[in-house]
Each structure stands twice: as C-alpha cells, then as structure tokens.
C-alpha cells in the first residue's frame, strides 16, 4: 500500500502510461511510481509532501534536487504543511538556534500526524537522538537524499543508510524553476576543520563535481529561462576536478549561451590569490561581489579558530579585490564571543568593520557545537557578554552599511530585475552589477535589465526609479 490518503483519482485507458509503479491493493491499484498495463482503469494514490529548508545557500540548492527526486517519484510537493501527509526538513547545525527551530517544527508536525523526515546536517550529527526523542520518523544525512522518496512511500523500511557514502548528486538535474536566478553546487564538503564549525563532520571531505555534469545542470537551468547563476561550495575557491580549478570553471561557464550574470559562494580568504582575481576581472558576466568571511580581526582569535590567515593578509586581499573591482559589493561573516576572546580582541573587530567598510555582514554570537575543538576550550565568554558584543557589532555594521548605501544615492546604475518585492505593491527586487540589492519602484519583467536612478533609502535599502532606456 502507498502511504497517504487518496487525494486524486485518474482514469487511464488500457495500455496508457502514467508516472508510477503500481501494486495491487484492496481498492484496486496504489501508485508509487512506474507504468501499469494491467487494467483499463487505475486509481492513483497521490502523496502530498511539504519541503522546508533551514540554513545556508547549499541547503537551498539541495532543496531543488530533493524536489526533483520527489517529482520523479510521483510525489506532489505542496506549499503549506497543512496540506501534506509528509514533511521533509533540510536542516542546519551550524548554530543552536537553527537546530532548535527545526526540532520544534518537526515535533509539531509529528504531533499533527505527519510523517517526518529530518534530513541534512542535523540528521547526520544528531540522528539517533532525534529518533529516540520522537522528533522524526527517519533521519538522513546530506548524502542520503536519494532515499527520501522510498522512505515516504514505504519502500525502504530500514531507516538506515550508508554512513560512509559521499554523494555529489552530479547526475541530478534540479527541479524546474520559475526564477531568473539559481544556484548550483559545484563541490561538497570541507577540509578546513575550523575549530568552531561542524560542516566537515556533517558534510564530509571536499569533493568536486566534474565539469560535464555541471555544464549539463547549467544548460538545463539556462533553458528554463535562468539568467543569473551562483556556483556554490562550502569553500568554493578550493574547487578542483582534474586540472580544472574554480577560475577555469568560471571562464567556461561564462561562455554558455544565455548566461547574463555569474557569481560564486562561499570563499575562504586563505585560498584567494591575486592571479585568480586578475583573471576574474576579465569575465564580463562575473558579478562584482565577494563574500569573504573574516570572523574576527584579532590574529590571536583567528589562530584559535584555525582560520589560516591574519588580519594583515586579509586586508591585503581586500585591496586586491577593490583594485580589480572598484565598485565591489563586499560582504563577510563576523563572530563575537569565541572562547578566550577578550574585550581588546572584540575592539579590533569593531575597528576593522569601520576601516574595511563591508557593505553587509552576517553577524553571530559564538554557539558551542558538540564535537568541535572550540567546544572543549576552557575560557568561555559568558552568554550575556556574547549578546552584548553582538548588539554593539550590529550597530557598528549598520552604520557602515547605511553610509556606503548613502554614497550611491543620486547615481545612475544598471539594475537586474530579480523578483517581486515582498512588500510594496508593484515594486520589484533588483540588483546592481555588483549584486547589491535595491528596490525598484516599478513593475518590470523578471530578468529585465534597466537603467535606473538611485533616489534614496528606505531604512538601509536603496530605492531605485527606472529611466526610459532598457539595457536588454
């Protein structure tokens, strides 16, 4: 029998083909994928599933692969959990807050009688605990997504995958998208073992995807109308397959017909070279956007974090980037309250934020992650002090973000229309050539490129008004 209620019935003439493999049931036929030729009329059982994503861009990209797996199995994805018989969560374990949210949602869904599959980093690291505590029916790591359809449809009752498997999903095409922007994972895993981070334990060692597989995915997205693509990796600058490194991958991808805009995430500052930046500047489609996590401006703390660079090296590389891309949109990650961080260490980070001038920053208070080296460090900063430092850092960065945005008011820029604005009737979310987000006070076609004047700020968001001329 299939899991879930009968939510739809389709009649097929003898010999007709429908998605699904069928088995005899007391009511006729139950569907979980394949073709049936044995009856003039068949009844198809439709499983409705809600997919929820937590955490990083990699999980967001993975969600499109999971959506493809669900669709190929004949499982219908719905937009509200109330409409679903089953829920799949792609989870994050980088910080406690992300785990708490996923845990709470999973328990709520189980309490409502939903079948729950909790997948991703949290499933890999805390799987046994999650099942023991009744938070999920099944837990899967990031390398076990192919099992999701079988678990939903009752064809895999073991609940146990191969913990040693190292997937790339290079053969999968993502689900069809209605967006003009998309992301493609070009590598998975991480070899850095920063002392605060669980990613190497959750996602395994670095492995890069062969270019032919990547080109197939990229061409598929471009054929769907995608204009802007980000290449993703936990440390994307470390991409290497055979003789191909990231810079060659960017150069080849940029030659694909229909690709207007190309970016990459996330970069480890240690692996960024002057030669790489020079070659990047020669790629017309490349967004003038760099996300370079600093984490701390204290060399002592950076050494304890095992980051592999100091502040002087980091700032030198920022200089290379700004020389090659004068209009660069620069974002970073910043962490406060790492074990042993003194007030003087924290002040160094505040000073660096003002001096470097990040356009945007993801800012966090240190969160202990079981199994990491930092979790065993003795000099813990009190939680209240971590929160105080975080609030001060946010205030400092917000000042810098607003000041840098104000410097663009009055200029004319090309904007790329990315999506409808979540607020403001008729407004659109758009991006400058450097990926800086703006709000366009006009209805426009997705993927359209327009000349616009940046007329002011709403909070820290730049407001743009279109000019008459369309770029493309």
Give the 3-state secondary structure percentages of the chain, helix then strand then coil, rounded to 5.
Answer: 35, 25, 45
| pLDDT of 14 over the 80 cut | no
User: Do 48-152 and 181-405 agree at the fold level?
Assistant: no
β-pairing verdict for 86-91 and 48-53: parallel
Question: What does the block give as tokens for 207?
Answer: 């492995």
- Which of 420, 424, 415 shows the shortest CA–CA distance to 469? 415
Quickly tell me which residue has 């229309």 as its tokens: 417
55-79 b/e with 16+ CB inside 10 Å = b? bbebbebbbbbbbbbbeebbbbbbe
pLDDT-based confidence at residue 471 (cuts at 50, 70, 90)? low
Residues 135-165 have pLDDT tens digits of 899 999 999 999 999 999 988 755 455 556 7
Residues 303-345 have pLDDT tens digits of 999 999 999 999 999 999 999 999 999 999 999 999 999 999 9
| pLDDT of 301 over the 50 cut | yes
Class of domain 48-152: alpha beta
Q: Which residue has the higher pLDDT, 25 or 87?
A: 87
Mean confidence (pLDDT) of the chain:
88
**Torsional class of 275: left (φ above 0), alpha (ψ -120 to 50), beta (otherwise):** alpha
- Coil, helix or strand for 271? helix
- Residue boundaries of the structural domains of the chain: 1-46, 48-152, 181-405, 412-470
pLDDT-based confidence at residue 132 (cuts at 50, 70, 90)? confident
- Coil, helix or strand for 448? coil
Give me the pLDDT at residue 85, please: 95
Eight-state DSSP code of residue 95: S
Class of domain 412-470: mainly beta
Alpha-carbon span 169 to 96, nearest angstrom: 28
| pLDDT of 38 over the 80 cut | no
Is domain 181-405 given the CATH code 1.25.40.10 in the classification?
Answer: no
Residues 340-366 have pLDDT tens digits of 999 999 999 999 999 999 999 999 999
pLDDT-based confidence at residue 459 (cuts at 50, 70, 90)? confident
Q: Which residue has the higher pLDDT, 73 or 9?
A: 73
Q: Which residue has the higher pLDDT, 464 or 18?
A: 464
pLDDT-based confidence at residue 231 (cuts at 50, 70, 90)? very high
């Amino acid at each position: 029998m299939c899991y879930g209620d009968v939510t739809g019935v389709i009649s097929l003439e003898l010999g007709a083909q429908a998605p699904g493999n069928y088995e005899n049931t007391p009511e006729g036929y139950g569907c979980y994928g394949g073709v049936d030729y044995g009856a003039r009329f068949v009844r198809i059982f439709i499983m409705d599933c809600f997919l929820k994503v937590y955490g990083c861009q990699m999980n967001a990209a993975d969600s499109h692969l999971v959506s493809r797996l669900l669709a190929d199995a004949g499982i219908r994805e719905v937009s509200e959990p109330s409409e679903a018989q089953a829920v799949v969560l792609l989870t994050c374990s980088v910080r406690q807050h992300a785990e708490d949210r996923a845990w709470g949602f999973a328990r709520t869904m189980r309490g409502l009688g939903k079948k729950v599959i909790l997948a991703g980093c949290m499933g890999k690291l805390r799987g046994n605990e999650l099942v023991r505590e009744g938070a999920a029916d099944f837990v899967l790591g990031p390398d076990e997504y192919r099992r999701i359809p079988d678990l939903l449809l009752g064809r895999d009752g073991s609940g146990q995958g191969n913990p040693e498997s190292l997937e790339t999903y290079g053969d999968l095409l993502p689900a069809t998208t209605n967006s003009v922007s998309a992301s493609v994972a070009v590598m998975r895993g991480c070899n850095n073992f920063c002392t605060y981070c669980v990613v190497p334990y959750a996602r395994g060692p670095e492995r890069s995807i062969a270019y032919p597989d990547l080109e197939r995915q990229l061409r598929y997205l471009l054929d769907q109308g995608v204009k802007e693509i980000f290449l993703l990796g936990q440390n994307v600058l470390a991409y290497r397959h055979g003789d191909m490194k990231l810079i060659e991958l960017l150069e080849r991808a940029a030659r694909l017909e229909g690709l207007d805009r190309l970016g990459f995430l996330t970069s480890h500052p240690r692996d960024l070279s002057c030669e790489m930046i020079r070659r990047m500047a020669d790629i017309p489609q490349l967004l003038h956007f760099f996300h370079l996590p600093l984490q701390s401006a204290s060399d002592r703390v950076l050494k304890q974090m095992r980051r592999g660079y100091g502040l002087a090296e980091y700032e030198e590389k920022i200089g290379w980037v700004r020389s090659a891309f004068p209009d660069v949109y620069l974002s970073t990650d910043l962490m406060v309250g790492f074990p042993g961080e003194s007030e003087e260490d924290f002040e160094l980070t505040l000073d660096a934020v003002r001096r470097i001038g990040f356009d945007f920053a993801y800012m966090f208070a240190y969160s202990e992650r079981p199994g990491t080296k930092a979790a065993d460090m003795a000099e813990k900063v009190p939680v209240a002090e971590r929160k105080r430092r975080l609030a001060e850092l946010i205030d400092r960065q917000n000042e810098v973000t607003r000041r840098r945005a104000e410097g663009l008011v009055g200029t004319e820029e090309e904007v790329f229309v990315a999506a409808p604005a979540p607020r403001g009737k008729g407004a659109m979310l758009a991006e400058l050539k450097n990926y800086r987000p703006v709000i366009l006070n006009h209805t426009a076609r997705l993927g359209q490129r327009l000349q616009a004047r940046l007329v002011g700020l709403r909070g820290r968001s730049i407001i743009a008004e279109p000019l008459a001329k369309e770029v493309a």
